[in-house]
C-alpha cells in the first residue's frame, strides 16, 4: 500500500510543474486523496459491503470534490489535477498513467445495465470539462480536448475535440475532413445539403460556360481584329501626315 502511495506522489511530481515537494503533494492535492479513498471503497465494494463502500465514496466526494463510484476500476498512477467536479461512473475502467482535469465526466448515456461507462486505456489525457459518455473506448495515449463531448470510440494515439468530438490528429498527423458525412455535428445534415447544392450549382455553371464559350471566343476574335484595323488606320494616317 505504501509503495503504491509513493508511486502516486512521484507521478504527480513528474506531471505537474506546480508541485514542489512530496509534502506539498500529500497535503494539497485532493485528486490524490480521492484516488486513495477510492482504493479503500473499491475493496469494500468487492467484499460485497456495498453500503459502507458508497458511504465512504460520498464522504470522499464531500471532502475532495471528486465523485468516484466504488465499482469503478482505476489503474496505477492516475492523476486528477485540480480535482473539483470530476465524476467517474460505476462501470468505468481507467488505465495506468491517465490524467484527468477538473470537470471531467466519465458517464453513461441511459438507464441500461451492464457495461455503460467508458474505458480509458493507458496514457490517456482528458482536458477540463470534457464528457466521455457511454460504453466506448479511448485508445492508448489519446488526448481529449477541453470541453469536448466524446460519444464514440477513439483510436490509439489520436487527439479529439469538439461537440461531438472528432479526430483532428492521429499518429502525429493532421486529419482533415473532406467529406461532410464525416462531420459529426448537429448541423451535419444542413452541411451535407449545402454541399450537395453547391455541387449542383457548379455543374449548372459549367454547362452554361460550355454553351457560351464558342460565342465568347468569336467575340474575342472580332475584338482583336477591330483593334488591328484601328492600329493599321493609325499607321496610314501617320503616313499621310508625313
- 227 DSSP 8-state letter: H
Whether residue 241 has pLDDT greater than 60: no
Q: How many percent of the chain have pLDDT more than 90?
A: 56
Q: Please give the grid coordinates belonging to residue 124.
A: 490517456
Is residue 213 helix, strand or coil? helix
pTM: 0.73
Q: Is 88 in contact with 94 (CB distance < 8 Å)? A: yes
Distance CA 103, CA 66 (A): 9
Whether residue 195 has pLDDT greater than 90: no
Give the contacts of 86 (CB within 8 A, at least 6 positions apart): 31, 34, 65, 66, 67, 68, 80, 100, 102, 103, 104, 105
Q: Please give the grid coordinates belonging to residue 121.
A: 486505456
Question: Which of 166, 159, 158, 160 is closest to 188 using CA atoms?
Answer: 166
pLDDT (average), residues 107-123? 88
Question: What pLDDT, on the 0 to 100 scale, is given for residue 36?
Answer: 94
Q: How many percent of the chain have pLDDT more than 70?
A: 82
221: pLDDT confidence band, cut at 50, 70 and 90? low
- 139 DSSP 8-state letter: P
Whether residue 180 has pLDDT greater than 90: no
Whether residue 20 has pLDDT greater than 70: yes
Distance CA 57, CA 48 (A): 15
Distance CA 13, CA 19 (A): 6
Question: What pLDDT, on the 0 to 100 scale, is given for residue 236?
Answer: 56
Question: What pLDDT, on the 0 to 100 scale, is given for residue 232?
Answer: 65
- The model's pLDDT over 30-69, given as tens digits with 9 standing for 90+, comes to 999 999 999 999 999 999 999 999 999 999 999 999 999 9
Angle at 182 between CA 181 and CA 184, to 5 degrees: 100
Is CATH 2.160.10.10 what the domain over 2-176 is classified as, yes or no? yes
Q: What is the sign of the dihedral through the CA atoms of 166, 171, 174 and 177?
A: negative
Amino acid at each position: 500500500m505504501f509503495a503504491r502511495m509513493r508511486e502516486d506522489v512521484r507521478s504527480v511530481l513528474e506531471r505537474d510543474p506546480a508541485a514542489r515537494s512530496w509534502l506539498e503533494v500529500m497535503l494539497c492535492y485532493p485528486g490524490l486523496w480521492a484516488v486513495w479513498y477510492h482504493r479503500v471503497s473499491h475493496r469494500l465494494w468487492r467484499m460485497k459491503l456495498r453500503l459502507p463502500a458508497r458511504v465512504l465514496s460520498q464522504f470522499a466526494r464531500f471532502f475532495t470534490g471528486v465523485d468516484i463510484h466504488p465499482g469503478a476500476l482505476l489503474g496505477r498512477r492516475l492523476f486528477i489535477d485540480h480535482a473539483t467536479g470530476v465524476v467517474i461512473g460505476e462501470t468505468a475502467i481507467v488505465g495506468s498513467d491517465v490524467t484527468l482535469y477538473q470537470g471531467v465526466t466519465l458517464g453513461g448515456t441511459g438507464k441500461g445495465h451492464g457495461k455503460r461507462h467508458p474505458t480509458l486505456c493507458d496514457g490517456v489525457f482528458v482536458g477540463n470539462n470534457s464528457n466521455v459518455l457511454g460504453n466506448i473506448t479511448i485508445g492508448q495515449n489519446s488526448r481529449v480536448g477541453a470541453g469536448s463531448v466524446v460519444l464514440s470510440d477513439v483510436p490509439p494515439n489520436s487527439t479529439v475535440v469538439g461537440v461531438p468530438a472528432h479526430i483532428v490528429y492521429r499518429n502525429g498527423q493532421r486529419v482533415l475532413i473532406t467529406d461532410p458525412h464525416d462531420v459529426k455535428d448537429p448541423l451535419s445534415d444542413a452541411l451535407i445539403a449545402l454541399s450537395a447544392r453547391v455541387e449542383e450549382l457548379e455543374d449548372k455553371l459549367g454547362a452554361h460556360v460550355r454553351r457560351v464559350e464558342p460565342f465568347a471566343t468569336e467575340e474575342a476574335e472580332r475584338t482583336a481584329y477591330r483593334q488591328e484595323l484601328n492600329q493599321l488606320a493609325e499607321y496610314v494616317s501617320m503616313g499621310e501626315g508625313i
